[in-house]
């Protein structure tokens, strides 16, 4: 698709052949980080029920936390993904899986939408999403909370797919000189993913370009 956008028309089999000749292959996906730490407060209803389709932006969001282990330390990423176009709406990065990371992410995301949108915000049953403060923040913003069933990663597979893609393309098999260098590359990748990485289900557009095009049409 990217080649065709540049005016180069090649059959997908030719592309695969050239990739094999050049030694270009997809990387493997590995085990996910789990944020479940036992029963904390009441779990929300699973409103999404694996229906990840959204008719417009800011109708359905999802979030989760993933872990990167490198250089003897760990880095945690907490993003919000819009189910409409898989765009990363907001994110935060931390050296520990703390609640401040979650609130920073929420504050950034909340600045992008008005109050009372009735948006559905989905997550797993991680400890941070069951905290009273977190749930009140969503309620005060006019957001409906949804949660996956316990231990069922398929209920939030759209976010799991993003994490798998992210780690395959910028983390697995790569070497970083420092934690600071890794965080910078992580930020660069998210910007690339949002603005330049094309997706087949988005008609060969990036998430941001797809959103802009749909709003222009509307």
- Please give the domain boundaries of the chain with CATH numbers for all domains: 34-217 (3.30.420.10)
Q: What pLDDT is attached to residue 40? A: 60
In this prediction the pTM is 0.83
157 has a pLDDT exceeding 80: yes
Q: What is the pLDDT of residues 16-71, one digit of tens each?
A: 888 888 888 766 555 555 554 555 678 899 999 999 999 999 999 999 999 999 99
Q: What is the pLDDT of residues 174-194, one digit of tens each?
A: 999 999 999 999 999 999 999
Residue 169, classed as helix, strand or coil, is: helix
Of 159, 147, 153, nearest to 88 by C-alpha is 159
102 has a pLDDT exceeding 50: yes
Q: What pLDDT is attached to residue 36? A: 43
**Helix intervals (H) in the chain:** 2-5, 12-22, 99-110, 132-141, 157-170, 179-195, 207-217
For residue 31, give Cα distances in angstroms to 163, 173, 189.
10, 15, 20
């Amino acid at each position: 698709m990217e080649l065709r956008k540049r005016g180069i028309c090649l059959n997908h089999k030719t592309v695969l052949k050239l990739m094999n000749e050049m030694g270009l292959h997809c990387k493997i996906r590995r085990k996910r980080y789990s944020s479940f730490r036992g029963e904390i407060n009441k779990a929300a209803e699973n409103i999404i029920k694996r229906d990840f389709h959204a008719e417009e932006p800011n109708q359905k969001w999802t979030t989760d936390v993933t872990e990167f282990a490198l250089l003897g330390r760990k880095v945690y990423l907490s993003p919000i993904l819009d189910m409409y176009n898989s765009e990363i709406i907001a994110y935060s990065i931390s050296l520990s899986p703390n609640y401040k990371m979650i609130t920073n992410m929420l504050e950034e995301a909340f600045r992008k939408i008005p109050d009372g949108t009735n948006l559905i915000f989905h997550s797993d049953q991680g400890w941070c999403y069951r905290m009273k403060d977190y749930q009140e923040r969503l309620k005060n913003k006019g957001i409906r909370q949804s949660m996956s069933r316990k231990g069922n990663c398929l209920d939030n597979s759209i976010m799991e797919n993003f994490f798998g893609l992210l780690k395959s393309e910028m983390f697995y098999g790569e070497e970083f000189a420092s934690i600071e260098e890794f965080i910078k590359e992580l930020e660069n990748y998210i910007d690339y993913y949002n603005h330049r990485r094309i997706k087949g289900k988005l008609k060969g557009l990036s998430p941001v370009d797809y959103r802009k095009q749909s709003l222009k049409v509307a």
